[in-house]
Copies of this chain bind each other. A is one copy, B any other.
Amino acid sequence: MTDCFEKLLELLGGICDLRAAEALLDWDQQVCLPAAAAEGRARQLAAISGVIHERSTSAALGRLLDQLEASCFADDSFEAALVRRCRMNFEKSRRVPAKLVAATALTTGEAHGAWLKAREANDYAILAPHLAKIIELKREYAALFKVKHPYDALLDNYEPGMTTAELKRVFTPLCREQTKLIKAAALPAGEPEPDFMVADYSSSKQLRISEMVVRAMRYDFTRGRMDLTEHPFTTTLGPDDVRITTAVDRKLPVSCLLSTMHECGHALYEQGIDPICFHTPLADGASFGFHESQSRLWENQIGRSTAFWRWLYPYFKKAFPRQLSGVSQKRFLRTINSVRRTFVRTEADEATYNLHIMVRYELEVALFDGKIEAADLVTEWNRRMKKYLGIVPPDDRQGVLQDIHWPLGDFGYFPTYALGNLLAAQIFDAAKKAMPQLERSIARGEFAPLVDFLRENIHQYGARYTGTELLKHLTGSSRIDINPYLEYLRKNYLPNA
């Protein structure tokens, strides 16, 4: 069996190395690519994806898994976890005909271009026919799997084991409570920002502060780097190469900082994985929701907290003395945490964010229920925005055209953002319980205890355990609980309630 397992590791290692090349092509596309080279890059990405798909579904891999499943690895051993994960990936990939893979790649490739054009023209009609095709392909994909609800097959790609029924159990009361909450907490429409929020904040100083914070968070620059891009993301090019990207807007004083902390949260997860998982599919997060919990926790539970700003505000004020003259820490914090009804998810505050997700989640379920079609999305989108946020986007660009996910075929992805928020609150509660002094150390800019806690309880395991298993280990229950998050919101946004 040792021989077989060695062979499996070799095969997986080769696939991981090719995936790293794929990730680099993607990173470079978003960070470095010359303007004229986009088309060529799409070809290159398609070529390497083809090779990876071939290797990931090879008969040789199947035979190895058969042999290894017949062996007697202890159920909770690394070996058993790896074989389980490989089998799951293998069966999924094998079930999808190469034709469908190719058609999806082609259609989403074209849809990406159409999305850019539609945004440019501010006209959903340009994207609609492409989206219709993608939805058709995704329905075809879902039909390949034996699941209760077709949407389950899509969710499983981001949140293994997650179902539409479970999401409903979690999201229905969450949506109700959050809608109620923002009715009480949101500023009236048209309330202007105070002057200091619309001042000019030097890009280089913003970047310097972000880098200082990222270093304090113990991001390892010898095993990664930080670059500028348009839409920030984190990528893993290998166990010792986990890269953050960020963006700066001179008019938004904390957007770069919070976005960098968010990405660094993802990066700490990847940098904290036990080397035993390297070069295998276990060198990954437990799920997208768990990954997002790590980014959200740093962005929100830490980055928006009183304790954190007790430490950072003096540095911030020193960097921007003119802009923040006469602005107290308390006022600054209240201002960056004000609740506003806005149209764009990525710019939403933490109190309204999940409601943006609810809009998308409900539309995705309805699409895979067959109740609506691509042509209905504007009407249905706007109706839900009105219902949950009380506002209707003035145009498509600020409505259904804002996200890249659907044109890329990423249906089932959005819910993981809301799950990440919920998990972040559960995990942060567990951390505070384990370390009663946690907020004090944060107020001194000491993040090592928190990083160690996360590494110990989450990061090191990579994908050895499922999200459910990790959650049980952390909180005693394997169920996602909306209350810690709602309590956190109420405490911050309804202090007098």
Q: Which residue numbers of A lie inside 8 Å of B, CB to CB? A: 13-14, 17-18, 20-22, 24-25, 28, 32-37, 39-41, 43-44, 46-48, 50-51, 220-225, 237-241, 243, 279
Contacts and interface: CB of A to CB of B under 8 A. Distances in A.
Contact of A34 (B13, B20, B36, B240): B240
A147 B28 CA distance: 43
Contact of A21 (B25, B224, B241): B25
Nearest to A243: B34
A17 B44 contact: yes
B17 A238 contact: no
Nearest to A31: B32
A34 B43 CA distance: 27
Nearest to A221: B34
B24 A43 contact: no
Given A34-B221, A222-B34, A240-B37, A24 B28 contact: yes
Give the copy number.
2
Taking chain A's interface residues, is the majority helix, strand, or loop, or is none over half, making it mixed? helix
Contact of A20 (B32, B44, B223, B225): B44
A13 B241 contact: no
Contacts of A13: 43
A396 to B, nearest CB: 29
A61 to B, nearest CB: 15
Contacts of A279: 43
A222 to B, nearest CB: 5
Nearest to A20: B44
Contacts of A225: 32, 34
A42 to B, nearest CB: 10
Nearest to A41: B238
Nearest to A241: B37
A245 to B, nearest CB: 12
B28 A40 contact: no
Contacts of A35: 222
A28 B39 CA distance: 20
Nearest to A227: B32
6 contacts: A18-B47, A20-B40, A34-B223, A37-B237, A41-B238, A43-B238
A18 B238 contact: no
Contacts of A51: 18, 51
